[in-house]
Amino acid sequence: MRLKIYQENAIEELLEKAKKLLGYSGEKKLVFKAPTGSGKTIMMAEFLKQLVDDREIRQNLTFIWTAPRQLHIQSRAKLENYFEESRALKCSYFEDLDDRKIGENETLFFNWESINRADNVYIRDNEQDFNLSKVLERTKEEGREIILIIDEAHHHATSEISQGLIQMIGPKLTIDVSATPAIIDPDAEKVNVHLEEVKREGMIKKAVVLNEEFVNLLKRGKIESDLSGSSEELVIDAALKKQKGLLKAFQKEKAKINPLILIQLPDRIGQLEDIMKDRVIRILKDKYKISIENGKLAIWLSGEHINKEDVEKNDSEVEVLIFKQAIALGWDCPRAQILVLFRQWHSPIFSIQTVGRIMRMPEPIKGHYENDILNYSYVYTNLSDIEIKEDIARDYITIYTSKRRPDYKPINLLSCYSKRYREKTRLSPLFIELFLKETKSYGLKKKIDTKAKKLNIKVFNDWKAENIDLLAGKTIAGDKAIKVSGFDLQRLFDFFVRNSLREGSVSFYPEDRSVGRVKEAIYKFFETEFKMKRGEGEDETAQIVLSDKNIQQFVNVIDKTKEEYQKEVVKREPEIIPLENWDMPESLTFGSDYKKEERKKSVMQPFYSDNRWKTEKVFIEFLEKSENIEWWFKNGDRDKIFFAVSYDNGEQKPFYVDFIVKIKDGRIGLFDTKTGITLRDAKPKIDGLYKYIRTQNKKGKKLFGGIVTNTDQRNYRGRWIYFDKNSKELRNNFSNWQILEL
């Protein structure tokens, strides 16, 4: 699978920090925080693969992976599948261990709660001398360092028993993995994947919408909804109505996805659960023809598993799943998009554990969909006084929804958005492909001597000023060949690659991943042309490349490949993608930071604002007073959801103007509020908007506008004026600006 940009960045940071900590004495800790749905297990799998492949690590490593409940089984299956081709690590349970010890690059998986019990078979002494203590003892006798991975660490890693178990394991490095880490050791290294990065790459939904179509009010930190206190039937009805809308939208997208409703029963044992379950089953069957018998209803309760075998499949016929909180941890069903909670539910506090199961996108490779309603999840509940826990959920749950006015008529503007590409400073796998092509055109195979092994120390001596800790304790001087160990040889090889990236006609920052790409390209060349196998042949490859007869040939090919790579990257720079017939979004969602404001002319009702910018606030007040305005729209600044025009700031970028204003005479105004320094720096945007308005008006549109400001930039009591010319005509005063008369 192709890793997302944020995943590659996190893996790189994990590797860098783990290597650093492994180089210190004593036991160290690393905390990996990543949101639910970001692919924590896949990131850890790739990190472990790169860790065991890293030639700079001299220790023999072995791993223990612990997780709560049955999550360790799921994690082992994912890692085993990930390592299927590379065989980088072996994944084992206790019973799979050879010679009752953990082998090099082997990962032992076990359930944390069970191992925490004193009577566990793997803790207590036995005749076979096969318990965790003895396994660890034999493993350490082999000279291997243990890395302990604690998955979902916030569930169990802080108790006294757990701390005692960690002490018994005695890991060189402990890695806590969690979306919401518990109290963090202040000395621990941290790697953090931010929620916005995961959303931006379409791995998870943009937000969870609470009680859509119902008015929600935030009072003293608690949410009160129009749906609060309503009947279970009304809540189910709202959820099923939304499901039908989602299904139609998926069908229009030609996506074979049947959105799933999750109905969560109170997490209690006894009569209440049975009464609630029977009532829900009856409502679903009698009113909506959703039943166990026709395969549209599934049940997952303790001791009762019905129709749940294929419920995770995107095209499963199951429309509703009744369950309890206990299944939430580690359960992965990306088509789950609607969650129903009733007022008898055990807690009115929403946390990431509550909404986590409906956050994933059903097709993460595709990312977000064209129809924006598919990029959100929905919660319907008749709970009263809902609180949002101060964890990731606060950034995720939206409590306000604003709808486009029913009298709105399409304006069909040409908009644009930027297509995202990976950073130009880093080498992608494309470099390997281009390198191999360049070796052919350069004739590298015929130009090198594979028997040459003598190192030209002068080359490295010339580079010594860079001082990157080349060979600790050694002095490089003179013209004679020196014998170095495999470890030091690989460090010399790394050093050569780093300098090859830095120097020459095109320069790239020599970060670890780019160095790895160049080395991979060279290994691939030797594997293809000389049948030299990876692993055992790597030291010989390094000697041949670094030899005085061959080194310049490789410098030449790398340099030429960098030039070709840069040409390709320039071709693939962020493109501006045109978007025909853009219209106002049908709805927008807002979190608890926003406040409702009475704005009669806003095309989105109700209007919500965070009041970040005074200029925008007073401009809205100015618009509200006009008799000639039909409506106005406060634009956003992201994605294709909002309106943008293209402008040139060294490269083409989208310019999201602040306001779109519809005049009763049919004209449409495009305005961007500016003051002070933002006004002086706006020239490329001025030209982009000026060109856009002129071009579109030639095609029959009735557009006007530009950057807008108030002549009194302190108190906003002056004239509202706008600049509708080319930036070359922009002066230090407002003498050639137009008065904005609406």
SS3 for 426-460 is: CCCCHHHHHHHHHHHHHCHHHHCCCCCCCECHHHH
Asked whether the predicted pLDDT for residue 462 surpasses 90, the reply is no
Residue 464 pLDDT greater than 50, yes or no: no
- Cβ burial 410-442 (10 Å sphere, 16+ → b, else e): ebebbbbbbeeeeeeebbbeebbbbbbebbeee
Buried b (16+ CB within 10 A) or exposed e, 298-314: bbbbeeeeebbeebbeb
Name the average pLDDT for the chain.
84
Report the distance separating Cα 679 and Cα 685, nearest Å.
Answer: 10
On whether the CB atoms of residues 457 and 482 are closer than 8 A, the answer is yes
Better-predicted residue by pLDDT, 605 or 464: 605
**Helix, strand, coil share (%) of the chain residues, nearest 5:** 35, 20, 40
Chain mean position to CA 629: 41
**pLDDT number for residue 430:** 85
Q: Nearest to residue 605, comparing CAs of 588, 627, 582? A: 588
Q: What pLDDT is stored for residue 734 in this prediction?
A: 84
pLDDT over threshold 80, residue 18: yes
Task: Using the predicted structure, report yes or no on whether residue 475 has a pLDDT greater than 50.
Answer: no
Q: Which two tokens stand for residue 477?
A: 């001087």
Q: What is the mean pLDDT of residues 236-263?
A: 95
149-158 pLDDT, tens digit per residue, is 998 877 665 5
pLDDT of residue 631: 97
Say whether 551 sits in a helix, a strand or coil.
helix
Of 30-34, 144-148, 220-224, least confident by mean pLDDT is 220-224
Are 205 and 397 within 8 A, CB to CB?
A: no
| pLDDT at residue 175 in the model | 94
Between the two ends of the chain, the Cα-to-Cα distance in Å is: 55
Q: CB-based contacts of 19: which residues, under 8 Å, 6+ apart? A: 51, 54, 56, 57
Could you tell me if 111 and 156 are in contact, meaning their C-beta atoms sit under 8 angstroms apart? no
**DSSP-derived 3-state class of residue 389:** coil
Residue 303 confidence class, pLDDT cut points 50, 70, 90: confident
Q: Which fold has domain 5-199?
A: Rossmann fold (3.40.50)
Does this chain's domain 5-199 share its CATH topology with 202-398? Answer: yes
Average confidence (pLDDT) over 59-67: 91
Q: What is the pLDDT of residue 210?
A: 87
Query: What is d(CA 120, CA 130) in angstroms, rounded to the nearest whole number?
Result: 12
Contact 55, 493 (CB under 8 A): no
**Long-range interactions of 9-16: CB distance < 8 A, separation 24+:** 10/34, 10/43, 10/191, 10/193, 11/43, 11/46, 11/47, 11/50, 12/511, 12/512, 12/513, 13/191, 14/43, 14/44, 14/47, 14/191, 15/47, 15/50, 15/51, 15/54, 15/512, 16/512
Looking at residue 481, its pLDDT comes to: 44
d(CA 16, CA 20): 6
The CA distances from residue 691 to 283, 349, 657, 666, 698, in Å, are: 59, 51, 14, 21, 11
pLDDT at 37: 87
Range from 367-371, 482-486, 669-673, 676-680 that averages highest in pLDDT: 669-673
Annotation: CATH topology of 202-398: Rossmann fold (3.40.50)
Greater model confidence, 689 or 215 = 689
Q: What is the pLDDT at residue 468?
A: 39
- The whole-angstrom distance between residue 89's C-alpha and the CA centroid of its chain comes to 25
- Rounded mean pLDDT, 616-628: 95
| pLDDT tens per residue across span 316-336 | 999 999 987 655 566 778 999
Instruction: Please report where in the chains the tokens 């306000």 appear, as a residue.
Output: 400
**Mean local confidence (pLDDT), 98-109:** 90
Tokens (6 digits) for 124? 């207590």
Cβ–Cβ under 8 Å, residues 210 and 242: no
pLDDT at 630: 97
Q: Spell 659-694 as b/e; 16+ CB within 10 A means b.
A: bbbbbeeeebbbbbbbeeeebeebbebbbbbbebbe
Write down the pLDDT at residue 657: 96
Per-residue confidence at 680, pLDDT binned at 50, 70, 90?
low
Q: Are 340 and 236 in contact (CB under 8 A)?
A: yes
Q: 422 pLDDT exceeds 90?
A: no
Mean pLDDT, residues 83-94 taken together: 84
pLDDT, tens digit, 9 for 90 and up, residues 640-653: 899 999 998 877 88
pLDDT tens per residue across span 117-161: 555 555 555 555 567 888 898 999 999 999 999 988 776 655 566
Which alpha helices (H) appear in 472-511, and where do they start and end? 486-502
The region of weakest confidence among 81-85, 414-418, 535-539 is: 535-539
- Residue 574: band (very low, low, confident or very high) from pLDDT cuts 50, 70, 90: low
- Distance (Å, rounded) from C-alpha 128 to C-alpha 94? 13
- Span of 205-214, 260-269, 428-437 with lowest mean pLDDT: 260-269
Domain ranges of the chain: 5-199, 202-398, 430-571, 585-739
Residues 6+ apart with CB under 8 A from 85: none
Residue range 5-24: mean pLDDT, rounded: 90
